[in-house]
Each structure stands twice: as structure tokens, then as C-alpha cells.
């Protein structure tokens, strides 16, 4: 499948389920203390370093963006789906949300004080992930944190029906943490923490906190 093909399928799928998905995740963080803790630590890292803009990439309906804003972070959201961005703007009218793709971030080099990608890399094909992570490194300031969450496992599946019973056509990629850490290191990041989320549940996940490595000296 071409890049245009899977991106178009992902955009259309999330446009279709945007309202139902927002209802599904609106209170999700309330029942996820490990995720709230990770976001609080991330926010403290950002504010402790002087603050600045933080991108929630693949923000969906904006619940994580809003949570970060509540923690004192200058957070804004980017999502591939215009439908998701419309819902995010409606649910969180005081915050900034933009349509965009993590495969081609329209952000200046070293412009971000932090970046969050919460379960949004799961739809990116393996051969595209290294370039996406390199793009993350490009837009982050030196030493700025990257927090990424993802499904763990070693299989991929085509999701054909989603939230509210609506049709979808997206591939969901589950990955071992070791694969993600290897990709991050190859993209120029240093891994600081690795946290398993609900490893005994039917949908285990992981969180990785990483930072861009310093540029090599002369």
C-alpha cells in the first residue's frame, strides 16, 4: 500500500468515528493512574525546563492535550483527521488544534519544548516509523522530552469496524518495546524510562520517555 493510501484510509476512518471515539475516550484518563502519573512527570519536566509549546501528535479529540494544559503545559494538538480536530475544537474551545500528519510535521526545527504521541504511532507502518521519529527529533529542542505510548505485542491486524460500529480501514500495529527503543536510538534519542502498562490485560501497552541526543561535537 502506498503512503497516500494508508494515510487516506486512516483519515477517512477517524473522520467516520470521530464523535463516537470522543465519547469512548473522554473520561479514559480518569481510570488510568499510570498514564496520569506519566503525563504529570512529563509536564513537570517541561515546565521545570522553562516551558514552551508542546505538541500532542495524533491528538484525536484532544483529551490528552486538555489534560496537559490543565497541568500548566502550553499544549496544542495535531491530528490527521479533520473530523477529530473539529471534535477537539468543540470539546476544548480554548485550546489550539490543527490538521496535520506526523509523517510531515509543519513545525520549525527545534521549536518544541516537548512532544507526546499517545497511541498514535500504532497506525504507522514499520517502514515509515524511523522517518516519523526523525521528524520528532527535528522539531524538539535539545534535551526536550518525547513521551510515546503504544500497544505492545508482535502482530498487526486490519481494523474494519470501530467505535459505535462504524466502518474503519486501519492497520493496528502492536510492537515489542525493544523494537521501539531501537528505532528511537537510531533516530538519535536516548531512552530515559520504559514503563509497561497493564501487562496482564488483553490490551497491554508501554510508555517510553526519550530525549534527543546532543549533537556530536566538532
The overall average pLDDT reported for the chain is 94
Q: Which three-class secondary structure state does DSSP give residue 92? A: coil
The CATH number of the structural domain formed by 3-212 is 3.40.50.150
Residues 102 and 57 sit within 8 Å (Cβ to Cβ) = yes
Q: Which three-class secondary structure state does DSSP give residue 83? A: helix
pLDDT given for residue 165 in this prediction: 85
Q: To which H or E segment does residue 44 belong?
A: helix 33-48
- The domain spans of the chain are 3-212
Q: Cell 471515539, residue?
A: 21
Q: Which three-class secondary structure state does DSSP give residue 95? A: coil
pTM of this structure: 0.94
* Residue with more model confidence, 214 or 80: 80
Give the pLDDT mean for 156-162. 91
- Of the candidates 123, 83, 82, which has an alpha carbon nearest to the alpha carbon of residue 102? 123
Amino acid at each position: 500500500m502506498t503512503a497516500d493510501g494508508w494515510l487516506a484510509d486512516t483519515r477517512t476512518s477517524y473522520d467516520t468515528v470521530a464523535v463516537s471515539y470522543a465519547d469512548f475516550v473522554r473520561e479514559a484518563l480518569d481510570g488510568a493512574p499510570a498514564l496520569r502519573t506519566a503525563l504529570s512527570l512529563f509536564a513537570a519536566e517541561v515546565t521545570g525546563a522553562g516551558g514552551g509549546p508542546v505538541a500532542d501528535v495524533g491528538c484525536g479529540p484532544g483529551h490528552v492535550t486538555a489534560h496537559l494544559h490543565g497541568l500548566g503545559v502550553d499544549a496544542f494538538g495535531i491530528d490527521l483527521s479533520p473530523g477529530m480536530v473539529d471534535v477537539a475544537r468543540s470539546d476544548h474551545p480554548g485550546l489550539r488544534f490543527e490538521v496535520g500528519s506526523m509523517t510531515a510535521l509543519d513545525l520549525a526545527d527545534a521549536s518544541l519544548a516537548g512532544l507526546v504521541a499517545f497511541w498514535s504511532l500504532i497506525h504507522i507502518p514499520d517502514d515509515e516509523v524511523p522517518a516519523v521519529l526523525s521528524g520528532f527529533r527535528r522539531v524538539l529542542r535539545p534535551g526536550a522530552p518525547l513521551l510515546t505510548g503504544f500497544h505492545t505485542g508482535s502482530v498487526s491486524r486490519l481494523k474494519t469496524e470501530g467505535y459505535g460500529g462504524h466502518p474503519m480501514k486501519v492497520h493496528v500495529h502492536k510492537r515489542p518495546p525493544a523494537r521501539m527503543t531501537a528505532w528511537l536510538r537510531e533516530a538519535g534519542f536516548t531512552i530515559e524510562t520504559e514503563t509497561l502498562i497493564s501487562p496482564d490485560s488483553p490490551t497491554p501497552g508501554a510508555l517510553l520517555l526519550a530525549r534527543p541526543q546532543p549533537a556530536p561535537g566538532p
